[in-house]
Structures are given as C-alpha cells and as structure tokens.
Structure 1
Amino acid sequence: MAPAHRSSVLIAAVAQHEGLTHEQACLVHGYSFITDLLGAAQRLGRLSHTEIQRVLDELRPIIGEVVEEYRDQPLDAMWSFAPTTELMGMGHERADRRLFMS
C-alpha cells in the first residue's frame, strides 16, 4: 500500500474513533495533505515559515470547497495517476544528490 493510502486509512480510523463526521474527516485529510506539501516546500528551501503560514491561510477555503465538491463520491471514484512522480521517486533513491536539504 502506498504511503498516501496508508495515511488516508489511518486518518479515517482515527476520525471514526474520535467521532468525527465524514465532512470533518475529509477536512482533516485535506489539511494534512496541504501541510505535508508545504513542509516539503520548506525543506527544499523554497518557502519560509511565514510564507507557508500565508499560503496555508489562503488554501483553507479551497480545502473546504474541494471537500464540499467531492466528499460524497463513492470509493471506486478515488484514484491517482502520476507516473512521472513515481519514476522520479524511483531514481531519487539512487541519486548522487538528494532532493531535501535535511
């Protein structure tokens, strides 16, 4: 199971245990996804902490819009397709230079 799918399952399990609604669980997942991406941008040295907070604040309403649009989709509608990302990730494992500074 890919890491992104594991985190989705974990978030769903914790959300159910904590009694979150379906919408709340979706919002938590969307927020988690965005903060993961912004954390990567910070480790790459592309954004400062202050810039990340600004971007996160700007994206909050968009997370809500996306959840509103897609939260009632059936599970079989969920899929991803990013072959270039996967191929680059495979090469990164053996690269002379690593992507992150840390």
Structure 2
Amino acid sequence: MNIDEINEELAVMQLSDSFFPTGLYATSNGLEFLFSNNEIKGIDDIKNMIKVNIEQQIGPSDCVALSNAYTNAENNDFQKIIQVDEIAFIMKPIREIRKASVNSGIQLVKCVSEFVKDDQILNNFQKAIKNKKIHGTFPVSFAICCNALKIRKEKSLTMLLYGFTVSIIGAALRLGLIQHLEGQKILHEIKPIIIQTLKNNSNKSIFDMWQFAPQFDIIQMSHEKMDSKMFIT
C-alpha cells in the first residue's frame, strides 16, 4: 500500500466533489439562456454544448493555463505564475465569465489554505490575491492548490475538464432538461473528448493559448442581461 498514492487519490476526490465550496454549482455557462429561449432540447444538444466548450474554450485556454501554472509552481517561479494568471484573465472576454473564474479561484485558494499551511507557493499566491497583485483565475488557482496537495498535473487537468462537464450536467438537471441517468450517459460519452483534449493541450506554451467560440460568447453575454436567472453565468 503506497501512502502517497492514497493521499493523492483522497485529495483528488476532495477537490472533485461538488461538496467542495468553489461556487461552480452556481454556473450554467449560458445553458440557462438557451433553455429560457427554447433553443436547447435535450441530451444531444447538451452534449454538443459541452463538447464545443471543452474543445474550443476550456481545453486550449484553461488547460494550457493550468499546465503552465503547475509547472511554474513546481519550479518555484512565482513571476511566471503571475504572467500565466494575467494571460488567463485577459483570455476571458465576457465580464461575467471572467468574474466567475476569479471568484471561484479565490474561494478555492481560501478553502485549501485552511488546511494546507506549509506550502510556500500557495501562501505567496494567497498573499498576492489579498494585495491585488494577481487576479486568482480558476485554472491558475486550481494548479496552485493541486500542486500544494501533491496531485499530479495530469490528474489536475482531468479534474478541471471533469468538473466543468459535471457543472453543465448539474445545471441541466436543475433546469429539468434531463434526468439523472441521462446525465450519467452524457458524462460517459464525453470521456473520449476529455482524453483527446488533454492530449492536445497538456504540454503547450502559455503563448499558444487560444479560444474561439463566438456563438457561445454571445450566449454568455445574453445570459448576463437576463432580468431573472437561477445561475450567475
């Protein structure tokens, strides 16, 4: 029995659990707007929405940011972590998406700092957030926290994409678009997309970051202007 591997698995389960208070449960990534306008019908539309977001936004942007931030944390290069965070912040053109990413990232760091006290990079990162020297975007904060908890980079990237997928499926469930069994079916069918996205984006330079999904940018902006909504974005 390898104690280090067990500790890593327990940390993975802790951060991946919807019980962990990062605020991601309050996001729908524009799904609510599509639902309110009757533009999304069921399981196939939801799966396609997740696929496009992973392949065109989360993968080439957040995954690359996480990967680089994690490597810089391992190398104890805090200035490069700040650079990654700044680029990740700029890469989010929608104000509400940007704000949600920062709020979730700050909350994640705050929570992990409550029980991890001896990681210097995490401590410096939290101080930089408090002093407004860094934004604390979610993928960068996630990288810092995973490194502090000794979760390997590959698993950290998988958790990021898994968490995004679950947040959309959870929103669809609460909106009444699908049932629980259909949600599990979507999650299973998205696995090959997650794997391929990891292969494509896990070793890219921070200067190779990109995202291009203009239709979803418009959807997210439209959601922001809704008079009444269940989700923040």
Q: Fold match, TM over 0.5?
A: yes
Q: Distance in 1 between matches of 2:225 and 2:199?
A: 37
**1:7-18 alignment to 2 at 5 Å?**
7-18=138-149
1:90 aligned onto 2:224: yes
Q: Distance in 1 between matches of 2:174 and 2:208?
A: 32
Count of residue pairs brought into register by the alignment: 97
Partner of 1:70: 201
Alignment of 1:1-102 (within 5 A): 2=98, 3-4=100-101, 6-81=137-212, 82=214, 83-92=217-226, 95=227, 97-98=228-229
Show structure 1 runs of 5+ residues with no match.
Answer: none
Query: What letter is aligned with 1:34?
Result: T
Deviation string, structure 1 residues 42-89 (Cα, Å, up to 9, x no partner): 122111111111111121232111101111111232243543034213
Q: 1:76 to 1:40 in 2, by over 3 A?
A: farther
Range with greater deviation from structure 2 (54-63 or 76-85): 76-85
Alignment root-mean-square deviation, CA: 2.1
Identity of aligned residues (%): 24
SS in 1 for 2:225: helix
Deviation at 1:35, TM superposition (A): 0.8
After TM superposition, where is structure 1 displaced by more than 4 Å over at least 4 residues in a row?
none
Q: Compare CA radii of gyration and give the structure with the larger one.
A: 2
- Say which is worse superposed, 82-91 or 20-29, in terms of deviation: 82-91
* Structure-2-length-normalised TM-score: 0.37
Secondary structure of the corresponding residue to residue 47 of structure 1: coil
Distance 2:101 2:169 in 1: 15
The unaligned stretches of length 5 or more in structure 2 are 1-88, 90-97, 103-136
Q: Find the aligned partners of 2:154 and 2:229 in 1 and give their Cα distance.
A: 37
1:90 Cα deviation (Å)?
2.5
- Pick 1 or 2: higher relative contact order, CA cutoff 8 A, min separation 6: 2
